[in-house]
Each structure stands twice: as C-alpha cells, then as structure tokens.
C-alpha cells in the first residue's frame, strides 16, 4: 500500500455532505494537501462556517453549494455550478440515517428519500463527475459506505441495502476505471464520532459505550490510501480484506447483525 499524492488528480475536490463529521474532515484533509474544495450540504450557516475555517487554515479556495442531495435535479445543479472547475476528487459522504427503527415504523416517503440520496444520487454523482476524470485520465472517487453493507439486520433494512449498493458500485467502478488513471475507493466506516451518530444514539436513549473512530483519522487514512481500492475498511486489522463475518453463513451473519442492532451495539456500522 502506497501513500497517494493527491495533487496528481487535479486542482479541485468536491465533498458532498461536507459541513460536519466525516465530510468536513475530508474537506480539511483535502485542503491541507493544497487542493481547493467545493463543500456541498443543506445547512447554509454550518456550511459557511466550515468554509471560512478551511480558508483561514489552509489558504485554498473554497466554494459552498447549498443543496439537498435527495432532491430531484440536485446533482445536475451541482454539475452546473461547478462546470468551470476541473474536479479531480469526488467524495460522496451524504446519507446517514439518524432514526433507526423497524421497517414498518418509518414512513414510506422517508425510506424512498433515503434510497434516492444513498443510491440514485450516488450513482448520478459518480457518472457526472467520473466521466470527465476518465476522459482526462486522472481523478479519484470516494464513496463512503458502512459496515451495515455486510449483511441485512433488524432496523437496517433500507439503510443497509443502500450502503450495500454504494459498496458494490464503488468496487465495480474501481474494476472498470482502474486502468484509466482514476482511483475509486469504497470506504467502509464503523462506529464513528459524528453529529449524526450522536443524534441517533441520543434519540434512542443509548449510552456511548465502546470506542468511536475519530472522523479526522477516518478521512486522513482514506485520503492517504486512495490508490489502494477497491475497498478500505476503517479500523480493520486488514483494511483491504473481506467481510468481518468471514465464513459465517448468510443467515448467521444476519442474526449477528440483528443482535447488534437490538443491543444498540452495531459493531462495524456507522450511521
């Protein structure tokens, strides 16, 4: 495994979901390497505060784009407002689920919004911003996924399914683009100390038992190993390895994931 020199990808990076948590950590890591950053998120005050901080710290250009990535036309709009930039890095980090409940206890519209944000929008982002990278022969795409992708589990039906989509998409694009000069990394997160994770735990009245990964450690590791795809499992002794469920049958893996969900201890699941 070799450290990646990001300047080879191009002068601009886009971080979708870049206002806090892992997203803003990616933005800091990108800017610290001298790459200009486009921050994309819904909340304008948080977005602008993050941008001001990054400009002051690293002296790079920062452009903010206030978008709801689950809305129709959001990715076309993002492509339009960045059409004057050479984007060499795309980090798609949006898509946490702050409310973990049984499948039928959540509104259908909430499920559909999650699927659009975590599947349709991710695919569209990879297509719109990956195509110019492939044409130029340089670039990198990071799709942030989750340990929920490894197997189904109680209260994880829609979320886990979307994260499995992201993981397979990342691995497939890596296979297609690996000879084109474009690196693709599916970043699998475990339990990480992010605002969305805290909101989910607080809503469920759960304690913060166990160690949570630092978002800046997560981002730094991923940015250093962009060229070591297709998959990077943060916190694993074998980060380029396979599922932590190993030789377990699919049934046993699902039961293990479900027990973790019931206990509020989703080992390997970042939400």
Q: Which one is predicted more confidently, 24 or 19?
A: 24
Which pLDDT score is estimated for 95?
Answer: 72
Mean pLDDT of 210-226: 91
Contacts of 171 (CB under 8 A, 6+ apart): 184, 186, 229, 230, 231
Among 71-75, 111-115, 199-203, name the one with the lowest average pLDDT.
199-203
Which pLDDT score is estimated for 154?
Answer: 95
Among 16-20, 141-145, 152-156, 206-210, name the one with the lowest average pLDDT.
206-210
Mean pLDDT of 36-60: 96
Task: Go through 61-87 and write b for each residue having 16 or more CB atoms within 10 A of its CB, e for each that does not.
Answer: bbbbbebebbeeebbeebbeebeebeb
Q: Of the listed 9, 127, 159, 208, which one is catalytic?
A: 159
Q: Is 159 one of the annotated active-site residues of the chain?
A: yes
CA distance 236 to 221: 12
Superfamily for the 6-263 domain: NAD(P)-binding Rossmann-like Domain (3.40.50.720)
Which pLDDT score is estimated for 196?
Answer: 55
pTM as predicted: 0.89
Which pLDDT score is estimated for 70?
Answer: 86
Residue 267 has pLDDT above 60, yes or no: no
Instruction: Report which secondary-structure segment, H or E, holds 12.
Output: strand 12-16
pLDDT digits (tens, 9 = 90+) for 78-99: 999 999 999 999 999 977 776 6
Which pLDDT score is estimated for 48?
Answer: 95
Q: What is the pLDDT of the chain when averaged over all its residues?
A: 89
Mean pLDDT of 160-186: 97
Which pLDDT score is estimated for 271?
Answer: 39
Residue 136 has pLDDT above 80, yes or no: yes
Mean pLDDT of 174-179: 97
Nearest to 25 by CA among 9, 13, 7: 13
The three state secondary structure string of 217-239 is HHHHHHHHCCCCCCEEECCCCCC
DSSP 162-176: HHHHHHHHHHHHHHH
Among 7-21, 51-65, 191-205, 238-252, name the one with the lowest average pLDDT.
191-205
Mean pLDDT of 17-31: 93
Which pLDDT score is estimated for 40?
Answer: 96
The answer to whether the peptide bond before residue 230 is cis (omega within 30 degrees of 0) is yes
Residue 46 has pLDDT above 70, yes or no: yes
Q: What is the dihedral of CA 125, 127, 130, 136, to 10 degrees?
A: -140
Nearest to 43 by CA among 12, 25, 22, 18: 18
Nearest to 62 by CA among 13, 20, 16: 13
CA distance 101 to 200: 10
């Amino acid at each position: 495994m070799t450290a990646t020199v990001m300047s080879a990808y191009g002068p601009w990076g886009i971080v979708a979901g870049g206002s806090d948590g892992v997203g803003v950590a990616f933005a800091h890591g990108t800017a610290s390497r001298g790459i200009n950053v486009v921050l994309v998120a819904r909340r304008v005050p948080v977005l602008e505060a993050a941008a001001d901080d990054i400009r002051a710290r690293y002296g790079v250009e920062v452009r903010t784009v206030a978008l709801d990535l689950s809305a129709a036309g959001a990715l076309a709009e993002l492509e339009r407002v960045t059409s004057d930039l050479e984007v060499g890095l795309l980090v798609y980090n949006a898509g946490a689920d702050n409310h973990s409940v049984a499948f039928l206890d959540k509104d259908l519209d909430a499920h559909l919004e999650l699927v659009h944000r975590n599947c349709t929008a991710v695919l569209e982002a990879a297509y719109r911003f990956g195509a110019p990278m492939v044409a130029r022969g340089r670039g990198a795409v990071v799709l942030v996924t989750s340990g929920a992708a490894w197997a189904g589990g109680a209260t994880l039906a829609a979320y886990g399914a979307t994260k499995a989509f992201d993981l397979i998409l990342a691995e497939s694009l890596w296979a297609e683009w690996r000879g084109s000069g474009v690196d693709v990394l599916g970043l699998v997160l475990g339990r990480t100390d992010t605002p969305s994770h805290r909101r989910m735990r607080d809503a469920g009245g759960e304690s913060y038992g166990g160690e949570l990964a630092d978002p800046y450690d997560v981002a730094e590791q991923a940015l250093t190993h962009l060229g070591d795809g297709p998959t990077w499992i943060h916190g694993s002794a074998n980060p380029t390895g396979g599922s932590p469920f190993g030789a377990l049958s699919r049934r046993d893996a699902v039961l293990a994931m479900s027990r973790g969900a019931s206990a509020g201890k989703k080992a390997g699941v970042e939400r």
